[in-house]
């Protein structure tokens, strides 16, 4: 073996390799493995369940050239530094690369290095404190990989045999799908109830303010109709409004901890509207390195973490920064934050690598999306080490007759950590009150009665499902985004108005899996499996023993289900009264990967397909059906129109539900707005069921607009 003195450092991604290569300079070669090079084959089980669950590893398809290049470079190197990510997957990548090279060149020296940030000092420090490969981490990754393979390769064939070809199921994703389906059922079963609130318009010394009715006859008001509200307004006519009580309360608002992976994904979803996959993609770019002027800089620490811990050196840097720019908000000693019980604490919290690189100072070097995500990471970290904010809330009770109205006003006394917030700043709702005294009278200039409907459970969003998965111990920081992506790619869920909605196919799969494999789909069981994987990594559990405990009863249940579960292949196919206009045969309702559709009964000779009717057309004297339609060319937003178009020009932008209005018999639709979220309403503009007053008043005008759109586009 020839020795040219160079050290070969192997990372996972080319972007990371470019950044590190600039830092190290001569004497080092930096190469990227592009993730896993050795893995289980996709085409077969590749796990010997009869002999201690031995995996059959192969070179990943398409990666042979990369592995060959690394082996060739190993021939001419003094030492190899394995620098894949510091987690189970990264440890396994290093382990497999090392074994592949040793088979060819057994005399090569290897060292494992890890770092939490890509900075010159962190890289140098990592090289100076190398270690051996952590075989417990490798065992935990192997156990997780084999466990998922056993589940996936036994559940998927059941779905192929009993439902339709091409389906698949996964251990963790199926549990997430269950949560989404259960929430969807709650949403569908919820029936909104009408209620009203009453606001009084008050005035003193030409200064106007409003107060809400909070008490009527010594009880919390329950107003279910406009008539009840009008009765109270009538009762208060000509009565005096008198200030009964004034209270002031000060509140300490503590800064929040720097981000973990799940908290970053939640914040990016709610603040920036980013889906989890997008958040992690941008975070990866910031971590691996961005060109800032002539330098390439890793801007944030490793973005897959469940820890709120911050390195002492970083605490020193941020406190120096705060002392220089926000001296009055520097606490006497650093702020420390508790971690979740299940946190592994393998990495620091997500923070900027250089706190002096403020979002504004590097804005021109970042894309718009990178700048927004970096901004919230930087602001969260810096604010976490600042003093609390302090607010003062003044609450005023105004009494009139048997009613008590209340108003409040909040102002910040001390901004504290909020001084540094821009992207994360909250918009203050200002309700400025005049100077008031107990016992004095104020003038009422009118009332604002408002109709509402009770809100049901909200569908999960990226942020809320990740929060739930984390709380229940399902998945880990590296898997939250992939869980959602896999369910979407399989078309078991779709994203509508940032909400995650199970498809018909997803709900069918979920029903079958819950009934057939209640343990596998049990949230607590899945969380316990995650705990066992953690124990393997901590050297407190033997991986083969875990698989031996899991697999035999699972395989027994698989065989039982395959033998006894009734096939629904073709059962969901339903002959309809619709006739194919191309060949005259009846159309068949079938389940596809995008849901139900109509296909000609003459298939394969006739391949005509159509959308499934969702409801009867609500227009008088029309016997058409409402179907899903799109603009010409198939692009743009879906809408719902009549099959009798152009004779019938009815369309709606709201999806028909499989529910009839109890008042008029026409169908209900699902609507969404910022104020109320998702709610149900009758499609009939002349029916007031679940309509707000404003909707009812404007429905005819809206119908004219919709019909005009139909004439122009359908």
Locate the DSSP E strands across 67-174.
79-82, 110-112
Is 696 one of the catalytic residues? no
Residue 124 has phi, psi (to 5 degrees) of -60, -40
HSE-up of 289 (CA within 13 Å, CB side)? 20
Beta bridge partners of 223: 196
CA distance 457 to 654: 19
Q: Which of 95, 302, 492, 640 is catalytic?
A: 302
Give the closest residue to 134 by CA, choosing from 79, 60, 82, 71.
82
Rounded to 5°, the CA angle 95-98-102 comes to 140
Q: Residue 418 class from Cβ within 10 Å (0-12 exposed, 13-18 middle, 19+ buried)?
A: buried
- C-alpha distances in Å from residue 192, one per residue of 90, 690, 692: 50, 7, 12
Q: Residue 550 class from Cβ within 10 Å (0-12 exposed, 13-18 middle, 19+ buried)?
A: buried
Tell me if residue 205 falls in helix, strand or coil.
Answer: coil
The residues, any chain, with a CB within 8 Å of residue 74's CB and separated by 6 or more, are 8, 80, 101, 104, 105, 108
CA distance 608 to 263: 48
For residues 127 and 516, the answer to whether their CB atoms sit within 8 Å is: no
- C-alpha distances in Å from residue 86, one per residue of 135, 303, 555: 13, 11, 34
Strands 28-32 and 7-11: parallel
- C-alpha distances in Å from residue 67, one per residue of 40, 89, 102, 377: 16, 17, 12, 36
Give the closest residue to 351 by CA, choosing from 327, 330, 321, 389.
321
Tokens of 59: 């070179």
CA 497 to chain centroid: 13
Catalytic residue ranges: 302
């Amino acid at each position: 073996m020839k020795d040219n003195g160079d050290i070969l450092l192997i990372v996972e991604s080319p972007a990371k390799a470019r950044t590190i290569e600039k830092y190290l300079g001569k004497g080092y070669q930096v190469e990227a493995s592009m993730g896993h090079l050795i893995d289980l084959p996709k085409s077969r089980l590749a796990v010997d369940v009869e002999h201690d669950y031995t995996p059959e590893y192969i070179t990943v398809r398409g990666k042979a050239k990369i592995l060959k290049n690394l082996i060739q470079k190993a021939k001419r190197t003094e030492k190899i530094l394995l620098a894949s990510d510091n987690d189970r997957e990264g440890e396994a990548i290093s382990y497999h690369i090392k074994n592949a090279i040793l088979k060819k060149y057994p005399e090569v020296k290897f060292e494992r290095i890890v770092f939490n940030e890509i900075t010159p000092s962190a890289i140098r420090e990592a090289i100076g404190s190398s270690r051996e490969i952590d075989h417990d981490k490798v065992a935990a990754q192997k156990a997780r990989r084999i466990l998922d393979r056993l589940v996936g390769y036994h559940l998927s064939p059941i779905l192929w045999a009993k439902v339709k070809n091409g389906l698949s199921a996964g251990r963790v994703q199926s549990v997430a799908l269950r949560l989404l389906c259960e929430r969807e059922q709650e949403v569908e079963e919820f029936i909104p109830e009408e209620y009203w609130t009453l606001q009084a318009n008050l005035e003193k010394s030409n200064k106007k303010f409003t107060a809400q009715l909070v008490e009527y006859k010594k009880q919390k008001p329950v107003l279910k109709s406009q008539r009840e509200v009008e009765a109270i307004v009538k009762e208060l006519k000509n009565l005096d409004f008198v200030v009964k009580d004034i209270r002031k309360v000060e509140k300490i608002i503590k800064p929040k901890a720097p981000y973990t992976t799940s908290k970053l994904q939640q914040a990016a979803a709610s603040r920036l509207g980013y889906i989890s996959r997008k958040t992690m993609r941008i975070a990866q770019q910031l971590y691996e390195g961005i060109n800032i002027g002539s330098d390439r800089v890793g801007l944030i620490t490793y973005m897959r973490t469940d820890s709120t811990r911050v390195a002492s050196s970083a605490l020193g840097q941020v406190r120096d920064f705060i002392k220089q720019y926000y001296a009055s908000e520097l606490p006497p000693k650093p702020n420390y934050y508790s971690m979740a019980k299940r946190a592994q604490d393998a990495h620091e919290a997500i923070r900027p690598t250089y706190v002096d690189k403020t979002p504004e100072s590097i804005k021109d070097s970042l894309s718009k999306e990178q700048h927004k995500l970096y901004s919230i990471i930087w602001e969260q970290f810096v604010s976490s080490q600042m003093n609390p904010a302090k607010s003062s809330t003044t609450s005023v009770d105004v009494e009139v007759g048997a009613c008590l109205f209340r108003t409040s006003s909040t102002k910040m006394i001390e901004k504290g950590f909020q001084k540094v917030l821009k992207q994360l700043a909250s918009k203050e709702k200002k309700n400025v009150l005049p100077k008031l005294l107990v016992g004095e009278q104020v003038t009422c200039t009118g009332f604002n009665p408002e109709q509402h409907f009770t809100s049901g459970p909200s569908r999960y969003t990226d942020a809320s499902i990740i929060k739930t998965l984390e709380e229940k111990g399902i998945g880990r920081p590296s898997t939250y985004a992939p869980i959602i992506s896999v369910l979407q790619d399989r078309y078991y869920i779709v994203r509508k108005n940032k909400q995650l909605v199970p498809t018909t196919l997803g709900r069918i799969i979920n029903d079958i899996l819950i009934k057939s494999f209640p343990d596998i789909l049990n949230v607590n069981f899945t969380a316990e499996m995650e705990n066992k994987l953690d124990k393997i990594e901590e050297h407190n559990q033997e991986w083969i023993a875990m698989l031996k405990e899991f697999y035999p009863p699972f395989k027994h249940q698989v065989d039982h289900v395959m033998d006894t579960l009734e096939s629904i292949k073709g059962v969901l196919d339903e002959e309809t009264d619709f006739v194919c206009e191309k060949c005259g045969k009846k159309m068949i309702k079938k389940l596809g990967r995008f849901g139900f559709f109509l296909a000609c009964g003459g298939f394969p000779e006739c391949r005509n397909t159509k959308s499934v009717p969702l409801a009867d057309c609500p227009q008088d004297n029309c016997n058409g059906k409402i179907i899903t339609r799109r603009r010409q060319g198939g692009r743009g937003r879906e809408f719902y129109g009549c099959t009798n178009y152009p004779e019938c020009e009815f369309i709606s932008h709201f999806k028909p539900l499989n529910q009839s209005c109890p008042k008029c018999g026409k169908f209900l639709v699902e609507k969404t707005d910022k104020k109320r979220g998702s709610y149900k309403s009758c499609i009939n503009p002349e029916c007031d069921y679940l309509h707000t007053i404003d909707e009812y008043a404007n429905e005819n005008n809206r119908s004219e607009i919709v019909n005009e759109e139909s004439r122009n586009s359908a």
